[in-house]
Amino acid sequence: MRLIVLLWLLAAVPAWASEVIGVPRIVDADTVYIGQAKIRLQGVDAPEMDQTCLNAAGKSWTCGIAARAALESHSNGRSWLCRTSGTDRYRRDLGTCYIGEEDVNGWLVREGWALAFRRYSTVYLPDEERAQASQKGLWQGAFIAPWQWRHRSISTVILGAVAVPTDAQKSMISRSVTAGDPPAPNCAIKGNLRATPTCIYHLPGGQFYDRLSMTDSRTRRWFCSEAEAVAAGCRRSKL
């Protein structure tokens, strides 16, 4: 009987592996460090730091950088509590994080700075619908879902407000597929995703930096910091 009661009590406890508390160092809008813990916000997907979007006027803007800035401003040096369970393929802890009683993951989606990562969870779909209806954040114009941006092509679907001109949307796809320049001056670290056994990033001035073409978006990626590159599972080039 005691064994049955114990098993019932264990089943009633949420299956969190651990809790991490502290002021985060924000790598991008869905990846943070708290101390030595590398945490990927669970159930959401925010734009990559090298990602560009279009605003309501059809003008290009660095939406990945803007999403991180919005999260940094909202966090404002406050302490987070992250409840983690499991890891992703980059060995990041998967977590739901809170500032006080507020679910940070949900805040990102509700403010339009991330999408519900519906491949893994539908928890934040109502928050996404609210952001879309209010045209907040990414929803103010046109953008590519982050999971599609990482594997984008000329057939990639464009999301966002219908007010954005169709030719501007096509222009965004064309630039995102063929552009060889960093999205912003401070996002000039080159990532080679084809390198094995893990991707390698190259800093400006490195031996192979100028030789690495960035025109193939399927095998190349820009990073804005070494922390971002490491969080994506890459290592620094030895040359």
> Tens digits of per-residue pLDDT, 89-126?
888 999 999 999 999 999 999 999 999 999 999 999 99
Q: What is the pLDDT of residue 180?
A: 67
Q: Which pTM was predicted?
A: 0.79
Please give the DSSP secondary-structure letter assigned to residue 158. Answer: P
Strands 220-223 and 18-22: unpaired
> Domains in the chain, please, with CATH?
15-178 (2.40.50.90), 179-239 (no CATH)
Measured distance CA(173)–CA(175) in Å, rounded:
6
Residue pair 71/108 in contact (Cβ under 8 Å)? The answer is: yes
Residue 203, classed as helix, strand or coil, is coil
Residue linked to tokens 């907040």: 136
Q: Which of the pair, 204 or 176, is modelled with greater confidence?
A: 204
Q: pLDDT per residue over 154-196, tens digit each? A: 778 888 876 666 666 666 665 555 556 787 788 889 999 887 7
Please check whether residue 158 is in contact with residue 144, taking contact to mean a CB–CB distance below 8 angstroms.
yes
Q: With beta carbons less than 8 A apart as the criterion, state whether 36 and 91 touch.
A: no
Quote the pLDDT of residue 5: 40
CB 47 within 8 A of CB 55: no
Angstrom distance (rounded) from CA 113 to CA 136: 8
